[in-house]
Structure 1
Amino acid sequence: MSETQGSHRRAPWPDTAPGPDPHDAPSAGPYAGPHDAAPHEEAYAAPYADPYGAAAPEPQVPAPRGEGRRAARRRAAAPAGGRRRTTAEPPPTPPPPAPAPGAGSGRRRRSGAAPAPAPAGRAAAPGRDSWRRIVPQALVVAFLAGGTTAFVAADKAVRLTVDGVPRTLHTFAGSVDELLASQGLGVGPHDLVAPAPGSALDDGQQIVVRYGRPLRLTLDGTTRQVWTTARTVDGALRQLGVRVEGAYLSTPRTATVPRSGLTLGVRTERGVTFMADGRERTIRTNAATVKEALDQAGITLHGQDTTSVPPDSFPRDGQTVTVLRITGTREVREERIPYETERVEDDGLFAGTEVVERVGRPGARRVTYALRTVNGVRQQPRKIAEEVVREPVSQRVLVGTKALPTSVAGADGLNWAGLAQCESGGRPSATDPSGTYGGLYQFDVSTWQALGGSGRPQDAPASEQTYRAKKLYVQRGASPWPHCGRRLER
């Protein structure tokens, strides 16, 4: 059963019959409504003591418009602080406000009944407890506010572009290299980072990263390894300062240069001059060989025609190439092959004596020559083939090694030194002005060889010359020396 029914008794009214009381009427104040009680009646809504020990019934508070009776009773029973009242701890009874003049309570209380006194100590407690609760809360709020401010100040919004792909991100990094490390972006010596990795990082800053790419570039026949941060072939060539207008590219200009690298061949446009048939022609070409550039110039080679530089060489810028018109024939000639002389020592012959044992015979060969005329000028013949027709036969000569005799009967004891002094001045290698006579005793070659000598007398040793002179004296006397022969007798 509810608190407002059954078990509560209403306090008796005074003996006098109730009459109409002007204070029973609802107040017409600003908070009054057709179904509302007067504002001052709420102050007496709490129960009061009954002289017979029974609690006074709770006043019936009219429900606001649109509110049920149960909700109205719950609202009337609720304490002023909004907490629900329990039977264990009755809420303190607020002191009754001073009644307004002429205003009644609407109901008379029984004489002698007084409102319940307020609990002791409740008046001073709210101020002290409030400060105890407010100060820690204020400190926590201030700490959280300061941390939030520092957190917001350290956060930066930056725009990072990696190989042309932009993105906006938030970071607490203080420098560019810290940002790259936090994003897992490693950079090397060939990569481009702007601003530099050690630069400070500010809010709203733009950071650009371009990775280096290896490029094996063959430019006009010369190969080298280079690095580029461009992502296309066209950008790489422009970054390297290579003129691409009119150039031949092994890879299209719009092709992508991957991170792993690319092999690229480039032939720039060059000016080449050809001199052919008495005319000069200059063309712009990106040809790989002189022969290809020659075809672009409309010049044709016939037969043995060629150019002043190898036709398969690379044409350089500003180069002049002469076309050689060649006509030629072949000529076959017979040529002699000389024989060799073989000298064999023979101890049966005196020293200085040589005998031809086998006569040598020359050989023969057939040689083919190419005769060329270049641009009307005859060139020196060029041997292009040869064939041996007859092999040569070597000559065999026996050379004596037997010691010569020291004396010749009938010639020893003569003044051979005086004769030599008169004929040659005592010089074994002496030769007369005509070249006919030579040696100590001025032999002619025929007389010398008839006496068993070989070669020329002035080439033989002095002892051999004296020996041959003694033999000549035994055969013919002093007549071979008509002017100096008389010296032998002295």
Structure 2
Amino acid sequence: MGATVNSSQASHRAARGGGRHSAGSAPSKEPDTGGERRRRRSGPAAGGEALRKLLPQALVLAVLAGGASAFVAHDKVVELSVDGETTSLRTFASSVSELLEDEDVEVGPRDLVAPGAHESLSDGDRVAVRYGRPMNLTVDGRDQRMWTTERTVEGALRQLGVRAEGAHLSTSRSKRIGLDGLRLAVRTERSVSFLADGKVHRLRTNAPTVRGALAGAGLRLRDRDTVSVPLRSFPRDGQEISVQRVRADKRVTEEMLPFAVERRRTSELHRGTEVVEQQGRQGVRRVTYELRTVDGKAQKPRRLGSEVVREPRRQIVRVGTRPKPASVATVRGSGGLNWAALARCESGGRANAVDPSGTYGGLYQFDLRTWQSVGGAGRPQDASAQEQTLRAQKLYAQRGASPWPVCGRKLHQ
């Protein structure tokens, strides 16, 4: 448009200059006496002729003067600002859109033009064009794509309505935004509350994680402390977070493992007779427990693991299957022995005798286990003398006189 304007103005100036030139130059300084004489001799007739010659020229000058007035009326001076660069222009454009078209300024739907493109244009007007810029904006972890006509980060935040007081920005507020746009992350200032150690700790923070907000509140986590939300999560405005103080100790206990009992049937023993061939033994298992306290309150012990430090040993019991003898005399190997002498030595011959410890009882001072191993029922001191003698003879048939290390010799007296 600038070139067009200048060409028009040049043509208009040439027309105006040509008119002046064709109407004649200023009179020469040298006297033209012949002409003087012709104008004087002619008198009135000569004056009329001169008027007829001047009339067409006057009409031409009048037309040119009207065109020049129209030219001046449409010519105007305006300021055009394109993305901050301002130029003063002379233009014949009647509207903003014509001005932009004449100046080859292309605008899109995301660009800002003020006044509007269809507004009329007057002398002295100022037209501003701001290009739209894309922004990949992340606010508190949420991504969005937006457009702005501002040229700085601070201006864009203000235009987009992003609350940036106390916020953390990934770039400087004064950074200029190019036409290709900008990627910007904003962490706004938020109010967060921590419940820890029986107190409420409140703070305003722009930390990116709960862990960072904890540090800002001056709260330190120990090894086993727990937090109600993940430490890497983003702290939200108004969020309440609990911190539990956890203490843990270990306790080791030993548990007894029962032994199994294996019963082996044998015809070597009379029916009802049981002999412990291998004594059973309980095993030992070492168990480790964790004792936890949460905010000072004891929790249920938690089992961490166990280790068997001694395996249980099974007990082997021989169970007789041979029919019982009809009388004492039928017990093999027991005939001809002095059972009365043995009874006197062991118990004074008293069938209900019990030693001071309460462990041994009866004529032959059986302990309960031995009594039961030879088929006895109940306590030996409660059985009849005949029953006690029969069980003593069975014991002798199995082990000889060894169960009575002191009095056993009396059997042979």
Shorter-chain-normalised TM-score: which range? 0.5 to 0.7
Provide Cα deviations, 1:365-389, integer angstroms capped at 9, x if missing partner: x9998764432345577798999xx
Secondary structure at the residue paired with 1:256? coil
1-side partners of 2:287 and 2:50: how far apart? 132
2 CA distance for matches of 1:331 and 1:175? 91
Residue of 76, 81, 89 corresponding to 2:35: 81
Q: Which residue of 1 aligns with 2:222?
A: 302
Q: Partner of 2:35: helix, strand, or coil? A: coil
Are the equivalent residues in 1 in contact too, given 2:134–2:147 (CA < 8 A)?
yes
Determine the structure 1 residue equivalent to 2:53: 133
User: CA 1:273 to 1:129, structure 2 compared with 1: closer, same or farther past 3 Å?
Assistant: same
The change in CA–CA distance for 1:225 and 1:131 in structure 2 (over 3 A counts) is same
Matching residue of 1:206: 126
Paired residue type of 2:222? H
1:165 Cα deviation (Å)?
3.0
Gaps of 5+ in 1: 1-74, 83-90, 95-117, 335-365, 388-490
1:286 counterpart letter in structure 2: N
User: What does residue 426 of structure 1 align with?
Assistant: none
Structure 2 CA distance for aligned equivalents of residues 93 and 317 of structure 1: 104
SS of equivalent residue, structure 1 residue 242 = coil
User: 1:436-451 residue pairs with structure 2 within 5 A?
Assistant: none
Amino acid of the structure 2 residue aligned with 1:79: T
Q: Distance in 2 between matches of 1:194 and 1:206?
A: 8
Q: CA deviation at 1:310?
A: 0.6
Amino acid at match of 1:184: D
Larger Rg: 1
- Indicate the SS of the match to 1:148: helix
User: CA offsets per residue over residues 265-288 of structure 1, 9 Å max, x none?
Assistant: 111111111111112111111111
Structure 2 residue identity aligned to 1:81: G
User: What is residue 244 of structure 2 aligned with on the other side?
Assistant: 324
Separation (CA, whole Å) in 2 of partners of 1:291 and 1:146 = 82
Per the alignment, in what secondary structure is the counterpart of residue 81 of structure 1?
helix
Once superposed, what is the RMSD of the aligned Cα atoms? 3.4
Letter in 2 for 1:129: E
The sequence identity of aligned pairs, in percent, is 53
* Residue type of the alignment partner of 1:324: Q
Check if 1:291 corresponds to 2:291.
no
Give the structure with the higher percent helix: 2
- 1:123, distance to aligned residue in structure 2 (A): 5.4
Which of 86, 90, 99 pairs up with 1:166?
86
Cα 1:80–1:265 shift into 2, 3 Å: same
Change (3 A) 1:205 1:124: same
1:459 matched to which residue of 2? none
Amino acid at match of 2:184: L
Q: Aligned residues, how many?
A: 247
Partner of 2:74 in structure 1?
A: 154
CA–CA separation in structure 2 for the residues paired with 1:327 and 1:297 = 22
Tell me the residue number matched to 2:153: 233
Question: Relative to total residues, which structure has the larger strand share, 1 or 2?
Answer: 2
Alpha-carbon distance in structure 2 between the residues aligned to 1:321 and 1:171: 66
SS state of the match for residue 180, structure 1? helix
Q: Which has the higher contact order (CA 8 A, sep 6+)?
A: 2
